[in-house]
Amino acid sequence: MLFNSLRYILFLPIVLYIYFFLNKKHWVVIAIAWLTFASLFFYGCANLVYLLPIILSSICFNFLIGNCLNNLQFKSNKSKKAFMIFGVTGNLLLLSYFKYIDFFIENINTIFHTNLTFLHVVLPLGISFFTFTQIAYLVDCYNGKTPKYNFLNYSLFVTFFPHLIAGPILHHSEMMPQFKDIKNKVLKYKNIVLGLFLFTIGLFKKVIIADTLSKYVAIGYNPDIQYLSSWEGWIVALSYTFQIYFDFSGYTDMALGSAKMFNINLPINFNSPYKAVSIQDFWRRWHITLSRFLRDYIYIPMGGSKTGEFKTYRNLFLTFLIGGLWHGASWMFVIWGALHGFAICINRLWKKLKLKISNKMSIFLTFMFVNIAWIFFRAENLEQANKILYAMRNISSFVLIKRTGFTLNFMGGHNNRYENLLLILPLAFILVFACNNSNEIISKIKLNSKKSAVLLAVIFAILFTVSVIKMISHPYSEFIYFNF
């Protein structure tokens, strides 16, 4: 079920009403069971027979391993660690089969000139997210950082529908206490209002901005189009840079807003990443929960920065290489991860040498690097990426624009085909660089005056109406991170 669908807009208030009704009757366990059931329905409604066995078996396996790590008396720490590794390996094998098996077969066929048959395994929604969530849980069980949870609460932690399909990647220590807190069992109208507003901001980001830009990105990356001018190359690259931000941060806003209505605060996943002054700063602002996972469960266990300078650079590079591969079964994601790994090493060396440039120049250079790196992330192969990059550095075509007027050849040169682009792309620039992000907006909202309440209601009505009209008039599209 997609957040940007009328079905979800009907689903959410029904789940909310029943959940708080059950809590009002003090049927707390039934309320948790209801929310877990609703989350599983949300996840599996597209294909119950295929999806539910996968996530339920994953939950049962990890709960059992976690309970053993918490409760069994192991003969030595080595045996306990081996048991933890067994659990983590089980998760990685599940993820590898569904996400990487055909990629593995393709590379075997290429290297050894074999003709192994592809399995064409369908990637289950959200498998990367709920797998990483549970790997972190098992590692913390091994380290003695997890209290005892019952199966129902653990199931809700893993399946809670606002985060399930595309994150944020949750940590048990920040979620389980919220599910247990009796204060969160009571309907709070302020959280309903703030949650609705945050959800609407995210919906607007997705259906108005991201989905509009996606049309131009798809055409620019179309393999049938062999040549792009420099102008067109930059348009396509920047369009995807803003598309993926508004698509993913829009999803996150809708996830945080939905959870807020249940009095649950999910971790912030975006904090104006394109305002970052360095690539290190970018990863403190972009997909924050993935950055946290990579730091705590990959970079630090490899030794972090405590193993000498050379190994620190190695650990940084490998962490981002793994982060790239996490996004999907393609060498393009590995290249994207390698670019960021290389950049983060350069950033560390830059700081070591105590070199400095102005903040504005830092933001510009960081944004330009991220923009170029996204080309490899979006491209299906190096040929596609090179087409965009070649166009961007073909400066002579800028002169051609001055002589012939503004046209986008890859759009057919028709004004009505890109008039929305001339509106949406500048709007994206303004929202990203000149405005507060959605979390900052929500934190500044005060509902203690009639004037502010009316203003909020008007803004909400406009954004929601425009977004729903767009949803009805155009088939809704999946979020980019559903593929990961």
CA-CA distance, 149 to 153, in Å (whole number)?
6
Token pair, residue 250, equals 């829009």
CA-CA distance, 85 to 138, in Å (whole number)?
9
φ, ψ of residue 440 to 5 degrees: the values are -65, -40
Token pair, residue 471, equals 């949803």
Element containing residue 178 per DSSP (H, E)? helix 172-180
Helices (H), 143-188: 151-159, 161-164, 172-180
Token pair, residue 420, equals 């929305």
Element containing residue 106 per DSSP (H, E)? helix 77-112
Q: Angle, to 10 degrees, between the axis of helix 77-112 and the axis of helix 127-142?
A: 150
* Angle, vertex CA 292, rays to CA 286 and CA 298, nearest 5: 120
Token pair, residue 106, equals 């393709």
Place of tokens 């049927």: 27
| The one catalytic residue among 163, 172, 287, 327 | 327
Question: Catalytic residue at 172?
Answer: no
Nearest to 378 by CA among 250, 239, 282: 239
Nearest to 298 by CA among 321, 282, 328: 321
438 burial via Cβ count (<10 Å: 0-12, 13-18, 19+): buried
Are 311 and 300 within 8 A, CB to CB? no
Token pair, residue 246, equals 């508004």
Nearest to 342 by CA among 299, 290, 300, 280: 280
Token pair, residue 248, equals 């993913």
Nearest to 471 by CA among 286, 269, 211, 292: 211
Token pair, residue 52, equals 């539910």
Element containing residue 314 per DSSP (H, E)? helix 309-326
Query: What amino acid occupies position 6?
Result: L
CA distance from start to end of the chain: 16
CA-CA distance, 34 to 483, in Å (whole number)?
28
CA-CA distance, 476 to 227, in Å (whole number)?
30
DSSP state of 271: S
User: Would you please indicate which residues are annotated as catalytic (active-site) residues?
Assistant: 327
